[in-house]
Amino acid sequence: MSRNSHLTVATGETDTMINMKNLLYLISMSSLFQCVTRQISLTQPGTVTVKPSEVLQLTCKVTGASLTDGSVHAVDWVRQPVGKGLEWLGRILYNSATYYAQCLQGRITVSRDTNKGE
């Protein structure tokens, strides 16, 4: 069984160069304590240039667990800009509740597709 979580980021008013290799994601620690093996992969291009009003979408594929039954409590999206520390972007819980970094409110959407297995 595989399920996807998606991250969509709207760009600002200037061109944005994003090195996607520095975008990380984490499964919340609560699922790690259950001693259940998870396989997680991020589908992404290497480097993407997006212009104002364009949308960037990334997909996190989770296999071996369900994003809807609480076995994976949450999927957190975190990025690490070159030369900087980790920056939390947002979270989606198993019940579809979402939370976002205040500085990205209105520019970011985290969603999931529980019907799409790959």
DSSP string covering 77-102: EEE--TTS--EEEEEEETTS-EEE-G
Q: What is the pTM of this model?
A: 0.63
Confidence grade of residue 10 (pLDDT, cut at 50, 70, 90): low
CA angle 59, 64, 69 (to 5 degrees): 85
Domain ranges of the chain: 2-113
- pLDDT per position as a tens digit, 72-101: 778 888 888 888 888 898 998 888 899 999
DSSP, collapsed to helix, strand or coil, labels residue 28 as coil
CA-CA distance, 6 to 114, in Å (whole number)? Answer: 11
Lowest mean pLDDT among 10-24, 49-63, 99-113: 10-24
Does position 1 have pLDDT exceeding 70, yes or no? no
pLDDT at 116 over 70: no
The per-residue pLDDT for 98 is 92
Of 8-17, 23-32, 47-56, 80-89, give the range with the top mean pLDDT.
80-89
Instruction: For domain 2-113, give its CATH number from 2.60.40, 1.10.10, 3.90.1570, 1.10.3470.
Output: 2.60.40
